[in-house]
């Protein structure tokens, strides 16, 4: 199915809630009033409930439970809370998809977000954009499953969704991957341009005269998060590390190749995160 046709499928591109559209505007502000942002989130009871549920999950390990968006903001900060609300809104549009383990998908996505921020900080890349882009970078997979379920289920059988070769397999079959599809959704939801570019070029960050550092950050973060889901050992991590991208960004490979690294949340592999 051509990309244009996919994007026109019923339910392929859910509409952005008003709260999310308002939150998008805060990315361009140097200072954000946290109480005002929390009040904005709390104006949507459904998204607030999803935020509280996710924040209180064992995955985040908060030392005490939160009961509202203000408490979540105080304990987790704007970067995480804003991204989780955006992710919850996206997840709400794709809460039932055949063949997709949504709990695993969101666990992987949150790990990608944490790793994106962890990688971005020492190389002076915008941590806020990196975290949010890392969280939603794979949303194109859900759009593709919603818009052409039979083709995607067939692909899932041969190349699982979190396989390291997934983007290449999709491009070979369809001429595009979850990256281009995710960028289309990001445009529809009025994401910041830098974030749209990062999502679109994540699979090949520096090809064809493209240079979007956050795309490179997401590429490495998502590689490491996939490796965690695949339970890759030290040798496989070394052999699959995307060295050319790491060199361009100036990343110390030892910070992401190790089997035990900060910002990679480890729960029992059977545990999942429900963000939808």
Does 46 share its domain with 115?
Answer: no
Distance (Å, rounded) from C-alpha 48 to C-alpha 102? 20
- Which of the 8 DSSP states describes residue 33? -
Q: Residue 5: inside a domain, yes or no?
A: no
Mean pLDDT within 230-258: 94
Asked if residue 134 and residue 47 are part of one domain, the reply reads no
Asked whether residue 42 is assigned to any structural domain, the reply reads yes
Same-domain pairing of 114 and 62:
no
Cα(262)–Cα(276) distance, integer angstroms: 26
Same domain, 177 and 146: yes
In a domain, 211, yes or no: yes
The pLDDT > 70 percentage for the chain reads: 96
Task: Report yes or no: 203 and 218 within 8 Å, Cβ to Cβ.
Answer: no
Residues 72 and 107 placed together within one structural domain of the fold: no
Identify whether residues 143 and 246 lie together within a single domain.
yes
Residue 105 lies in a domain: yes
Show which of 33, 61, 92 is a domain's final residue.
92
pLDDT at position 233 over 80: yes
Rounded Cα distance between 175 and 169, Å, is 9
Please report whether residue 4 resides in a domain: no
Chosen domain end from 34, 67, 92? 92
Domain boundary among 75, 92, 109: 92
Round to whole Å and give the CA distance between 65 and 72: 9
pLDDT over threshold 90, residue 266: no
Is position 8 within any domain? no
Tell me, yes or no, whether 9 lies in a domain: no
176 and 53: one domain? no
Please report which residue ranges of 121-189 form alpha helices under DSSP H: 127-136, 139-147, 149-158, 166-174, 178-188
Tell me: the pLDDT tens digits for 30-53? 899 999 999 999 999 999 999 999
In a domain, 1, yes or no: no
Q: Are 157 and 273 within one domain?
A: yes
Residues 109 and 75 both lie in one domain: no
Is the pLDDT assigned to residue 103 strictly greater than 70? yes
Number of domains in the chain: 2
- CATH code of 196's domain: 1.10.3210.10
Give the whole-angstrom CA distance, residue 239 versus residue 143. Answer: 31
User: Above 60 in pLDDT, residue 267?
Assistant: no
Residues 58 and 137 reside in one and the same domain: no
- Inform me whether the pLDDT recorded for 271 exceeds 70: no
Q: What mean pLDDT do residues 142-147 have? A: 95
Taking the C-alpha atoms of residue 113 and residue 176, their distance in angstroms, rounded to an integer, is 23
What pLDDT digit, counting tens, does each position of 189-219 carry?
Answer: 999 999 999 999 999 998 878 788 999 999 9
What pLDDT digit, counting tens, does each position of 9-34 carry?
Answer: 988 898 999 999 999 999 989 899 99
Which pLDDT belongs to residue 270? 46
165 shares a domain with 61: no
Q: How confident is the model at residue 223 (pLDDT cuts 50, 70, 90)?
A: very high
Domain around 160: 97-276
If asked whether residues 82 and 189 sit together in one domain, one would say no
């Amino acid at each position: 199915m051509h990309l244009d046709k996919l994007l026109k499928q019923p339910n392929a591109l859910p509409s952005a809630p008003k709260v999310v559209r308002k939150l998008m505007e805060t990315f361009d502000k140097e200072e954000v009033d946290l109480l005002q942002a929390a009040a904005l989130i709390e104006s949507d009871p459904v998204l607030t409930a999803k935020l509280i549920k996710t924040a209180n999950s064992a995955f985040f390990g908060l030392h005490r439970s939160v009961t509202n968006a203000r408490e979540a903001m105080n304990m987790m900060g704007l970067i995480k809370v804003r991204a989780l609300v955006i992710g919850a809104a996206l997840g709400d549009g794709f809460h039932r998809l055949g063949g997709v383990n949504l709990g695993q998908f969101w666990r992987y996505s949150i790990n990608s977000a944490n790793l994106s921020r962890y990688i971005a900080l020492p190389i002076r890349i915008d941590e806020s954009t990196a975290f949010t882009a890392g969280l939603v970078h794979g949303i194109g997979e859900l759009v593709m499953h919603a818009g052409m379920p039979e083709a995607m289920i067939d692909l899932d059988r041969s190349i699982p969704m979190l396989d390291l070769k997934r983007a290449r397999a999709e491009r070979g079959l369809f001429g595009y991957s979850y990256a281009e599809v995710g960028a289309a959704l990001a445009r529809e939801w009025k994401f910041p341009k830098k974030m749209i570019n990062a999502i679109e070029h994540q699979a090949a960050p520096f090809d064809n005269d493209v240079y979007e550092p956050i795309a490179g950050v997401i590429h490495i973060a998502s590689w490491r998060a996939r490796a965690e889901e695949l339970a890759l050992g030290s040798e496989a991590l070394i052999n699959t590390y995307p060295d050319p991208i790491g060199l361009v960004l100036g990343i110390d490979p030892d910070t992401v190749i190790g089997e035990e690294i900060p910002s990679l949340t480890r729960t029992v592999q059977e545990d999942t995160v429900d963000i939808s």
